[in-house]
Amino acid sequence: MTRLVACLAFALLAFFAVAPAALAMTIEKIVSPSGIQAWLVREHAVPLVALNFAFHGGSSQDDADKAGAANLATDLLDEGAGEFDGKAYHERLENHAIDLRFRVGRDYFRGSLRTLNEHRDEAFDLLNLALTKPRFEADAVERVRGQELAGLRRETTNPNNLASRSWWSTAFPGHPYGRESKGTLETVPLITADDLRDYVRRVFARNELTVSIVGDIDAETAGKLIDRAFAGLPKKNDLKPVAAASPSNLGRRIVIDVNVPQAVVTFGGQGIARHDPDFMAAYIVNHILGGGSFSSRLYKEVREKRGLAYGVSDHLVWFRRAAVVIGGTATRGDRTADALKVIEHEIKRMAESGPIADELNEAKAFIKGSYALSLDTSGKIAAQLTQIQIDDLGIDYIQRRNGLIDGVTIADAKRVAKRLYSGGLLVTIAGRPKGLTSSTVHE
Amino acid sequence: MGRNNQGCKVPIVIFRQNVFLAVAAMLAAALAAPALAAGKAAGNVADFTLNNGLELVVIPDHRAPVVTHMIWYKVGAADETPGKSGLAHFLEHLMFKGTAKHPAGQFSRAVSHVGGQENAFTSYDYTGYYQRVPSEQLKTVMEFEADRMTGLRLTDEIVLPERDVILEEQNQRVRNNPRARLSEQVDAALFLNHPYGKPVIGWRHEMEQLSRDDAIGFYRHFYGPNGAMVVIAGDIEPQAALNLAQETYGKLKRRSSIVPRRRAQEPPPVAVRSLTLADPRVEQPIMQRSYLVPSSNTAKQGESEALEVLAHLLGTGNNSRLYRGLVVDKHVAVSSGAWYDGSALDMARLGLYGAPRQGVTLPQLEAAIDSVIAEVIAKGVTPEELERAKTRLIADAVYAHDSQASMARWYGEALATGSTVNDIEHWPDRIRAVTAEQVQDAARQWLDKRRSVTGYLIKDTSPQAEKRS
């Protein structure tokens, strides 16, 4: 009887069809029998199911002296859970060709699952075990800790890691966003199994869980699978608050000496919150400056015209409590100063004059068209649905997106370019850049 | 999650631009497993040859109004003249510099205007260019691509800065990366005579000398319809694609200089080879070993599939022989694994790698790896692990149908290295047919140390090290 009621309680709340020319998919909002909400896209062409989910509460939940705890816990979830030791657990995944991946960022723990239809019950059961009954046995903890430490040791001489770590720790000193999720050689050895259990207990809960499913599955079955995985979790999480923050030390340049032929440069400054009304304008303007296409200004000036680097780009990055614009390049030591000068000049020029109308139109066309093209696998669609939910953009966001882009005028673009790029840059360089040294005040 | 996959394999395919992470992921997926059969997403694959020799493969996939258009030239780094290493890849970069009809940037702008993606890649046996665009733009990109098959125009003003770009690319991929330096050395030692021993990116001293004339000469020799294959995956019917191909590529003339590829072949390997690379930046020593083994093109029937299964059960995943034996049970390694890359026109490589735990030496780790191999040779593999490996490899083929671009890449790579559409479609059947005996035989025959090079990567602690690097 209880079961029947639960099935009746299951309901479809909304349908949103997206015009086929943009993206041939319909997002359904579903609620599982136990009351967990999720977004579903039915895709019958391939007999598989892709699940993507997130819990609020990432590595910014780590204590500073235990940085890396969330990451270590994440790595250990599939190393033994419930009645299965790590070997038996992995055998079950492998026997059924189930892909199960977890990762942790500063704000969120994220998971993805891919399974053939015939094995989906087993897949969701295994996921449930990992989330609710991870074992964290001593030998597995030490083995995975050893792997993490080996990776961290490698990073001590890797210029990419050195430049990036320096940028974040200088931009957000003392703040959880200033720390890498994987922790450091000092903190990882201090993490105990209790720290790992504490992370799982505080974060894996139903109240800030986001779920997306794409695949050859109907809404009712999807609801049941969601419950298989998540219904057993605690109702409410227990998170530590994270303070709002802005990047500091803008205007500074830091050089980290490491003997490599090519210096790695990270640069960045204040970004823009996802819910800021200027976000879309900023996104477009940044695409024009350096957003990773063959046509960006940085690409043209640094790579094409001068051959200074193989890659150069910058991106908007947003967290729940901060936002930055951050980019990078890598260039030989004797020309690093030239490359940096070009980058700083282009950023200044964009701040002062903004884009021209032609660039704006090209960027809008690209950003509109590329969205559907980028969503080309079930896994990618599921991940995007999770991101839209996390960013609280609404189930009709994909429909509204073109309108938001078209609504950005050249005046908006110029105004937002000034806002985005006038705040100064923090620049960190790992390598031996000729003629460049660390500075406290840099123009 | 993926910790055990800290492979030491240098990507032998390199891309023009590294910012499209989605593309890198797609490539990883495509390299992770070989070909596949048609499933529900892909309709019947069609294969045509135009009168001028251009091959056209169409993989219908109507889930979204999008197509992936790829052109594969059957020429790569293994076809370079000695002394000109890096030339195939350099030309790939220069192919974006414009033609008589369409000045530099016009093609890229047309793609980006519709939100399309594009990139290019170079390997030993092929060079490829692709665009992902809305289906109605297919003809446009085919026109552009056909135009640059013969219409490329180059001047020193654009060639010389681009040479600096590939030198920075070499810095980024190799010189700044001790593991990539090791792989380069291992490959160079493995191939005694075949050009697969050269890096695709090139040897730096030769890259520095590449000229406009080198690039144009290579282009005029190797680029033509009879040396190319077009793979289109997406929302298009085969006949419609064929019509478009006739209207665009079909107008190009055959190039008589294009002949079947015959490279210098390897003599039978007779010596166990080992090398050590010391680099001051090494904080985690590793070892890697490559064996010279048959590719899907050179193997006897069933042999390449047996190697595929062997590499998988030796070294993919937490229950693989190497990971379980060395990392979990014996505690001698922090990571260990194996791979086989069978898509090569000539011989292929099977690789093993491991990173020792602190306090374990590389020779101790190597001995442990040797004992894992010896056990497989002596006792064979269990029915359970054989089944697991096959299940996974076949499932990867199903999963691949979820990505149109992966499908196009899969077909393209296999066809460019000697396979036929029929071979690709029956690949899962051939994997299913692999027996425990075949896997054991493959291990016995091919994992002979005399066929291999073992490389150690260690920290250079000499006083001169700081200056040298």
User: Per-residue confidence at B40, pLDDT binned at 50, 70, 90?
Assistant: very low
Is A248 a residue whose pLDDT tops 80?
yes
A264 close to B (CB below 8 A): yes
Condensed to tens digits (0 to 9), the pLDDT of residues B368-383 reads: 999 999 999 999 999 9
CA of B113 vs chain A CAs: smallest distance (Å) = 5
> Which residues in chain A are contacts of B324 at CB distance < 8 A?
87
Name which of A377, A378, A429 to mutate to probe chain B: the one with the most chain B Cβ atoms within 10 A of its Cβ. Answer: A377
Tokens in use for B280? 């001051």
Helices A69-76 and A193-203: crossing angle in degrees, nearest 10, is: 90
Query: Contacts of residue A154 in chain B, CB cutoff 8 Å?
Result: 283-284
Query: Which residue out of B92, B118, B169, B366 is catalytically annotated?
Result: B92
pLDDT of residue B38: 32
| String of DSSP letters for A204-239 | --STTEEEEEEES--HHHHHHHHHHHHTTS-S---P
A residues 108-137 closer than 8 Å to B (CB): 114, 116
Q: Report the pLDDT value the prediction gives residue B397, as an integer from 0 to 100.
A: 81
Interface subset of A 157-196, CB within 8 angstroms of B: 157-159
Secondary structure class of A270 (helix, strand, coil): strand
Cβ contacts from A onto B, under 8 A: 206
Distance of residue B286 Cα from the nearest chain A Cα, in angstroms: 11
- Chain B residues whose beta carbon lies within 8 Å of the beta carbon of residue A377: 402-403
Q: For every residue of chain B, which 3-state class applies, written as one string?
A: CCHHHCCCCCCCCEECCCCCHHHHHHHHHHHHCCCCCCCCCCCCCEEEECCCCCEEEEEECCCCCEEEEEEEECCCHHHCCCCCCCHHHHHHHHCCCEECCCECCHHHHHHHHCCCEEEEEECCCCEEEEEEEEHHHHHHHHHHHHHHHHCECCCHHHHHHHHHHHHHHHHHHHHCCHHHHHHHHHHHHHCCCCHHHCCCCCCHHHHCCCCHHHHHHHHHHHCCHHHEEEEEEECCCHHHHHHHHHHCHHHCCCCCCCCCCCCCCCCCCCCCEEEEEEECCCCCCEEEEEEEECCCCCCCCCHHHHHHHHHHHHHCCCCCHHHHHHHHHCCCEEEEEEEEECCCCCCEEEEEEEEECCCCCHHHHHHHHHHHHHHHHHHCCCHHHHHHHHHHHHHHHHHHCCCHHHHHHHHHHHHHCCCCHHHHHCHHHHHHCCCHHHHHHHHHHHCCHHHEEEEEEEECCCCCHHHHC
Q: What average pLDDT does range A48-74 have in this prediction?
A: 97
pLDDT at position B331, please?
A: 94
List CB contacts (< 8 A) between B355 and chain A: 150
A149-159 per-position pLDDT tens digit: 999 999 999 99
Mean pLDDT of the B43-57 span: 93
- In sequence order, the β-bridge partners of residue B340 are B350
Q: How far is A2 from chain B (nearest CA, A)?
A: 37
Q: Which of A23, A310, A372 is the closest to B18 by Cβ?
A: A310
Are B316 and B392 spatial neighbours (Cβ–Cβ below 8 Å)? yes
Task: Answer whether A310 sits within 8 Å of B114, measured CB to CB.
Answer: no
Q: Do A147 and B334 touch (CB under 8 A)?
A: yes
| C-alpha–C-alpha distance, residues B60 and A85, integer Å | 44
Instruction: Among B1-5, B136-140, B457-461, name the one with the lowest average pLDDT.
Output: B1-5
pLDDT at B28: 34
What is the complex's ipTM, to 2 decimals?
0.86
Q: Which pLDDT score is estimated for A43? A: 84
Nearest CA to A122 out of A103, A101, A95 is that of A95
Looking at CA atoms only, how far is residue B358 from chain A in angstroms?
9
**Tens of pLDDT, residues A206-234:** 999 999 999 999 999 999 999 999 999 99
Q: Which of A4-18, A269-283, A369-383 has the lowest mean pLDDT?
A: A4-18
* pLDDT score, position B466: 56
DSSP state of A276: S
Q: With CB atoms and an 8 Å threshold, state whether A293 touches B112.
A: yes
Shortest Cα distance, chain A CAs vs residue B254, angstroms: 31
Does the pLDDT at position A442 exceed 70? no
**Rounded mean pLDDT, A279-300:** 92
Q: Residue A353: is its pLDDT beyond 50?
A: yes
Per-residue pLDDT tens for B167-195?
A: 999 999 999 999 999 999 999 999 999 99
pLDDT digits (tens, 9 = 90+) for A95-106: 898 999 999 999
Reported pTM: 0.89
pLDDT confidence of residue B465: 65
Of B63, B114, B319, the CB nearest to A90: B319
CB contact under 8 A, B166 and A310: yes
A402 touches chain B (CB under 8 A): no
pLDDT reading at A10 higher than 50? no
- Sort out which chain B residues have CB atoms less than 8 A from A144's CB and list them: 3
Active-site residue B162, yes or no?
Answer: no
Give the pLDDT score at B467: 55
A143:B396 CB<8 A = no
B387 or A14, greater pLDDT: B387
DSSP state of A375: -
B134 interaction partners in chain A (CB closer than 8 Å): 21, 369, 373
Check whether B101 has a pLDDT greater than 90.
Answer: yes
Residues B44, B45, B46, B47, CA torsion sign: negative
| The pLDDT of residue B64 is above 90 | no
pLDDT confidence tier of residue B16, bands split at 50, 70 and 90: low
pLDDT at A373: 83
Rounded percentage of chain B residues whose pLDDT exceeds 90: 83
Q: How far is B30 from chain A (nearest CA, A)?
A: 14
Query: Would you say residue A14 has pLDDT above 50?
Result: no
Encode pLDDT of B391-431 as tens digits: 989 988 878 777 888 899 999 999 999 999 999 999 999 99
The 10s digit of each residue's pLDDT in B322-333 is 999 999 999 999
pLDDT at A341: 97
A260: contact with B, CB 8 A cutoff: yes
pLDDT score, position B2: 31
Average pLDDT over residues A109-137: 96
Chain B residues closer than 8 Å to A43 by CB: 63
Residue B455, pLDDT above cutoff 80: yes
pLDDT band at B30 (very low <50, low <70, confident <90, very high): very low
Averaged confidence pLDDT in chain B: 89
Q: Which residues of A touch B318 (CB under 8 A)?
A: 78-79, 86-87, 90
- Residue A443 scores a pLDDT above 60: no
